[in-house]
Structure 1
């Protein structure tokens, strides 16, 4: 019995010693990180900082692998800090090989996941995580703003994205910096990165359908039309007839040359927001492209009913009347003058030229030096026999061109 008790006690001591050894790995990682890495970094001793960080990684990886310590909030906290520090070193020194070679290409993601798990597991390390995140944001936010002002949009986008991502470690969803990242990537012509940032915005539910529309627009730019359609379909499934999503769907359909699908999307959009002048204006231009002249006229008039000073609608309605009138006149001229339709078409053509004067004259009041419109007004008035007006517009055109 004594022998058996001794063996049992010895086993317990051994097991306790093994657990202690694993706890020592947590402590050793903490010592290497806080007492060696951080002071070296603060004093600019980059090589010493890298050495300490690699030692810290060795210990925290051992702690992360052992069943006794792999799930503790302490191990998770230090793993997040140590792997995140590797990404910070890379940003400071430009030495991405150091991170990829020693910590892997996903070091930053590993860091965020570990910190977030530690944060949600218990309250012990929350203040440390919050202080770490706030310190990094405080360092990076001015840098991101400076990059933006200097038009270094790729660098600004990376910094804004880092800020967004690191704040998720303390369960904060920073949509402003994620939007800024997407915007900067777009300005840097990094449309794939912009699309990915905007897609994250969409999943979060940024400003209703705006995230979905931005993401689809970015995917359209890189001609990934299937992905753009997929994003918009997700948005429609979640938000229904959101006007921002519908407008982007119209733009995508028009890019693909599918005006019929674009028209359907706009009709859905108008049903969702009947007082939106832009929707009526765009559907008017689509009907124009489809050759449905009466529907185009109706939609553009509706836009002007909502806003009588809507310049784009004034211009396009006038241009639509001119094109329509010219087409009828040309068709009439192809007929025998004795054909009944000859006079009907010419009469309708003249009526349309007269209709064009109204919106185009309102437009030119606001844009008095638009040479193209001045020329059109000269030609219409000359065609209608309004000689004095025609000469006035001709003189203004000669001056503006």
Structure 2
């Protein structure tokens, strides 16, 4: 029987496809053999030899990952995952090797994770993939535990963080949170060690790196805030605070503390501004800085009270902020000529600040009802606001509290 051209074409295509599939399976086998040579060389720390075998394995597995017959094959993807992971691992040992730097990019993680996904369709390669990555986790945990016992907390962090990352890559959920916790505990110990020895800059560099791996860590971010403040670096402290706020948006203490920090910085900036003349260079910039700091203080304290409407500490500090601003504006107005076009505006703003102090101070006084100082302030601000009845009530309470304290 003669084959027509169409059937001949189909037959040839089938033959070609079969030959190509055989070729790619051969590539997978060759990649596997090279990887087997890599492992003992790597364990013997013969990194040059290990790299040679690993790059050969990569040369064989890459075509298999592009071919239709093998690109989703579980065996091929098993080797693709472990070869690429090993190249990524080796790149950390040979950080200066230009040929390995490509394996330090995040894109390599996508390659590994995709291949791991393709191994799941066959029990054998799913199991072998899990065993490979679990062995890597075991090695990392051993390093973490050993280094922690030796109080080498930076290496302990590297071990536990490495274990966490491997679990994340291989989608091993078991004890993933525990590895994260252990890594952060190690990090905090290392940060404390650096802080005690005065190595604050080194501590901040470490915190920034650790936050890249654990961006949702409130503990690390707050450590960054505290050390940056010790360095008088409010800008850096604020960047760490932003990280902490993202991680813990309902943490009233965090917002209250940062509000108080901004309030202290604002008062300091105002004192410097108050010494300046309007003709001084940087006068307007300093004025803007003061306004910006007071606004940040106000916003953070208000956020703390939004989270907990009865939060006394934040309420007290917000009341103090408004009273302080009212007093400063009152002083500014008193120093102005009555004909100054800004006089009425400044005086009005001063009164507005005093009125704003009422609500937060009333929140506070509920928690501390016999604080004669706050009661007296409430008497004065209500009187200034024209709230005679309320003013008299607080006056009586202030007198009673003062008498009871004697």
Task: Place the TM-score, normalised by the shorter chain, in its bin.
Answer: 0.5 to 0.7
1:191 CA drift (Å): 2.7
Higher RCO structure, 1 or 2 (CA under 8 Å, sep 6+)? 2
Quick one: distance in 1 between partners of 2:82 and 2:22?
A: 22
Aligned to 2:231: none
Rate the CA distance shift 1:36–1:141 in 2: closer, same or farther, 3 A.
same
When the two chains are superposed, the root-mean-square deviation of aligned CA atoms in Å is 4.3
1:156 aligns with 2:156: yes
Aligned to 1:366: none
Aligned to 1:25: 27
Aligned to 1:268: 306
Rate the CA distance shift 1:354–1:87 in 2: closer, same or farther, 3 A.
farther
1:101 aligns with 2:107: no
Counterpart of 2:254 (choices 248, 258, 261) is: 248
Aligned to 1:175: 177
Aligned to 1:196: 212
Quick one: distance in 2 between partners of 1:19 and 1:42?
A: 33
Give SS of 1:14's match: helix
1:98 CA drift (Å): 3.9
Check conservation: 2:221, 2:241, Cα contact below 8 A: yes
Quick one: distance in 1 between partners of 2:73 and 2:214?
A: 34
Taking the TM superposition and a 5 Å limit, the aligned residue runs for 1:232-247 are: 232=245, 242=250, 244=251, 246-247=252-253
Tell me the alpha carbon deviations over residues 360-399 of structure 1, each in whole angstroms, 9 at most, x when there is no partner.
xxxxxxxxxxxxxxxxxxxxxxxx8xxxxxxxxxxxxxxx
Taking the TM superposition and a 5 Å limit, the aligned residue runs for 1:294-305 are: 295-296=360-361, 299=364, 302=367
Give SS of 1:267's match: helix
Quick one: distance in 1 between partners of 2:207 and 2:177?
A: 19
1:19 CA drift (Å): 1.9
Quick one: distance in 1 between partners of 2:359 and 2:115?
A: 62
Query: Structure 1: which 5+ residue stretches go unaligned?
Result: 202-210, 237-241, 306-316, 329-345, 358-383, 385-401
1:216 CA drift (Å): 6.1
Counterpart of 2:236 (choices 223, 227, 231) is: 223
Quick one: distance in 2 between partners of 1:252 and 1:112?
A: 41
1:149 CA drift (Å): 4.3
Give the TM-score of the pair, scaled to structure 1. 0.59
Taking the TM superposition and a 5 Å limit, the aligned residue runs for 1:313-352 are: 321=373
Tell me the alpha carbon deviations over residues 32-89 of structure 1, each in whole angstroms, 9 at most, x when there is no partner.
11x3112333444433222211111111122222233223222222121112112333
Quick one: distance in 1 between partners of 2:179 and 2:254?
A: 23
Quick one: distance in 2 between partners of 1:45 and 1:39?
A: 9
Check conservation: 1:119, 1:170, Cα contact below 8 A: no
1:10 CA drift (Å): 4.5
Larger deviation, residues 166-175 vs 118-127: 118-127
Rate the CA distance shift 1:129–1:2 in 2: closer, same or farther, 3 A.
closer
Quick one: distance in 1 between partners of 2:49 and 2:124?
A: 30
Quick one: distance in 2 between partners of 1:51 and 1:354?
A: 87
1:41 aligns with 2:106: no
Quick one: distance in 1 between partners of 2:161 and 2:111?
A: 15
Query: Structure 2: which 5+ residue stretches go unaligned?
Result: 192-202, 229-234, 263-292, 324-356, 381-394
Aligned to 1:65: 66
The number of residue pairs the alignment matches comes to 299
Aligned to 2:346: none
1:163 CA drift (Å): 1.0
1:259 aligns with 2:271: no
1:142 CA drift (Å): 2.3
Aligned to 2:138: 138
Aligned to 2:117: 117
Rate the CA distance shift 1:120–1:97 in 2: closer, same or farther, 3 A.
farther
1:247 CA drift (Å): 3.5
Quick one: distance in 2 between partners of 1:121 and 1:49?
A: 30
Rate the CA distance shift 1:263–1:24 in 2: closer, same or farther, 3 A.
same
Aligned to 2:312: 280
Quick one: distance in 2 between partners of 1:126 and 1:270?
A: 49
Quick one: distance in 2 between partners of 1:69 and 1:82?
A: 16
Quick one: distance in 2 between partners of 1:219 and 1:192?
A: 8
Quick one: distance in 2 between partners of 1:152 and 1:100?
A: 31
1:131 CA drift (Å): 0.9
1:269 CA drift (Å): 2.0
Quick one: distance in 1 between partners of 2:187 and 2:123?
A: 36
Rate the CA distance shift 1:101–1:49 in 2: closer, same or farther, 3 A.
closer
1:130 CA drift (Å): 1.5
1:109 CA drift (Å): 2.0
